Amino acid sequence: MHFDIIILGSGPAGYVSSIRAAQLGMKTAIIEKESLGGICLNWGCIPTKSLLNSAKILQSIRKNGELFGIKNDQIKIDYSKIIDKSRNAVDKMKKGISFLMKKNGIHVIHGNAKLKKEKKIEIFQNEKSVGEYKSRHIVIATGAIPKIEKKFQYDGKKIITYKEALSSLSLPKKIIIVGSGSIGLEFAYFYHSMGTKVTILEIATKLFPNGDDEISDYLESSLNKMGITSYTSSSINKITYTNNGKILVEVKTLEDNHIVLETDIVLYAIGIIPNIKLIGLEEIGIQIEKGFIVVDDNYRTNIDGYYAIGDVINTPSLAHVASHEAINCIENIKGFSCQKIDYNNVPKCVYSFPEIASVGYTEKESKEKGFKVKVSKFPFSAIGRAISDEYTDGFVKVIFDAKYDEWIGCHMIGNQVTDLISEVVIARKLEATSYEVMGTIHPHPSLSESILESVSNAYGKAIHL
């Protein structure tokens, strides 16, 4: 069967590109070896947010229930229902994507794909070839898989990744989470809220190592207040299984000390790697560099007719980035003139508590790049909406270039900041100056006032500080 375009993978990059291609009149097929929606929908963005919502509701009642007149002395957790709720959210989303495939006339092919020369793809099911397809264009959007340290045996039971964490119906009493990026922090908050004793190990010198220094410092303080233990500049030296089903983890610290921690589970959250093995890239000569498929500004590989988007290329591994790349890739194929993605204006969010959201340069990066900066912070403790909600932790930090008044960075930590960050992304996209932000009326009472006040504070004009 011949198609105008075939997409490998049905995650945020894959299914979005297939829909846009169909909208533009292309005969489209999408290949998926598991469930529609990819890792993000089935084992990432969607189910984790359901779990985190359960955790936030539970913590809110525990912390502030009495203040709001809600008796909280008989709270019980039904962990299996919490997991079921997350899987139900996944099922609803999968049905939605399936509906969109049918609505747009997209041919869905289930199986493992092997790329071949001359824009052909062979499909395997249970290691048996079941057919071959040809297309004018092929888009590789196979996403990413968890990164695991090879020296420790991953068994999916005691040493796990987010995938096992999202499906297990048993709640560990103790867990060690390796890595303090978004995945590690989100699971740390969730498990802590469920009553698990959580320990975080981070090899970098600070938690949330890619974040602004002040955000990282505030985060570490917040986690410590919650009772979450964390070790930075630390790595696992040895893992030993005990006779009683526990795990002993020997940790090497910065001072070259060795401490031994007992746990039920080790969850690896040290990152992800492109899912590009065994799909035929080497056979057809597609260029790979540092584990990523190499593409140009229009997502074309070095082989004509083959494209790559999302986590398989060396751009931020985020669902919203993948979806945007998908649209640009398809429209470029159709000959449209597309606005290039500004990867420095991509919002990055962590949905733990406190939430973290950022865009642009950190203060350290700004200074390293030679900017003379104006920096300001404004605390949520001075915002009326935060006070009424009893979520006053955190702050909004803004960074402006003092010479041109360009908004070069913004970093937030606190309640609902993952929703607030979009205002900053749009403002930076439109090259808004501090003067224009200060001249924009923000609703009262709202958390968005923190942005207005932080910008105003950078120029000595804050009212509530």
Confidence tier at 150 by pLDDT (50, 70, 90): confident
Confidence tier at 258 by pLDDT (50, 70, 90): confident
Q: Could you tell me what percent of the chain has a pLDDT over 70? A: 100
Residues 22, 128 share a domain: yes
Residues 142, 7 share a domain: yes
**Catalytic site positions:** 444
The pLDDT assigned to 442 comes to 97
Residue 148 has pLDDT above 90, yes or no: no
Residues 177, 231 share a domain: yes
Does pTM top 0.85 for this prediction?
A: yes
Residues 263, 221 share a domain: yes
Number of domains in the chain: 3
For residue 71, tell me if it sits in a domain.
yes
Between 156 and 352, the more confident residue is: 352
Residues 135, 48 share a domain: yes
The pLDDT assigned to 107 comes to 97
Per-residue DSSP letters for 307-327? EE-GGGSSS---HHHHHHHHH
For residue 153, tell me if it sits in a domain.
no
Instruction: Tell me the average pLDDT across 180-201.
Output: 96
CATH code (residue 110): 3.50.50.60
Amino acid at site 317: S
pLDDT in tens, 383-394: 999 999 999 999
Residues 183, 121 share a domain: no
For residue 154, tell me if it sits in a domain.
no
Residues 201, 329 share a domain: no
Residues 220, 250 share a domain: yes
Residues 42, 12 share a domain: yes
Residue 184 has pLDDT above 90, yes or no: yes
For residue 463, tell me if it sits in a domain.
no
Domain boundary, last residue among 228, 244, 270: 270
Confidence tier at 154 by pLDDT (50, 70, 90): confident
Instruction: Tell me the average pLDDT across 145-168.
Output: 85
Residues 183, 112 share a domain: no
Q: Following CA atoms 381, 384, 389, 395 in sequence, which dihedral angle do they give, to the nearest 10 degrees? A: -30
The pLDDT assigned to 243 comes to 87
The pLDDT assigned to 167 comes to 85
The pLDDT assigned to 348 comes to 97
Residue 61 has pLDDT above 90, yes or no: no
Q: Which of 117-126, 254-263, 453-462 has the lowest mean pLDDT?
A: 254-263
Q: What is the mean pLDDT of the chain?
A: 94
Tokens 């699971």 sit at which residue? 187
The pLDDT assigned to 308 comes to 98
For residue 299, tell me if it sits in a domain.
yes
Which are the contacts of 187, defined by CB distance < 8 A and separation ≥ 6? 48, 162, 165, 177, 267, 269
Residue 172 has pLDDT above 80, yes or no: yes
Domain boundary, last residue among 343, 376, 399: 343
Confidence tier at 60 by pLDDT (50, 70, 90): confident
pLDDT in tens, 301-313: 999 999 999 999 9
Bridge partners of 172? Answer: none
Residues 125, 11 share a domain: yes
Residue 137 exposed, middle or buried by CB count within 10 Å (0-12, 13-18, 19+): buried
The pLDDT assigned to 64 comes to 76
The pLDDT assigned to 62 comes to 82
pLDDT in tens, 217-248: 999 999 999 999 999 999 998 899 888 889 99
Q: Domain span at residue 399?
A: 354-458
Residues 181, 292 share a domain: no
Nearest partner of 3 among 181, 91, 131, 177, judged by Cα: 131
CATH code (residue 361): 3.30.390.30
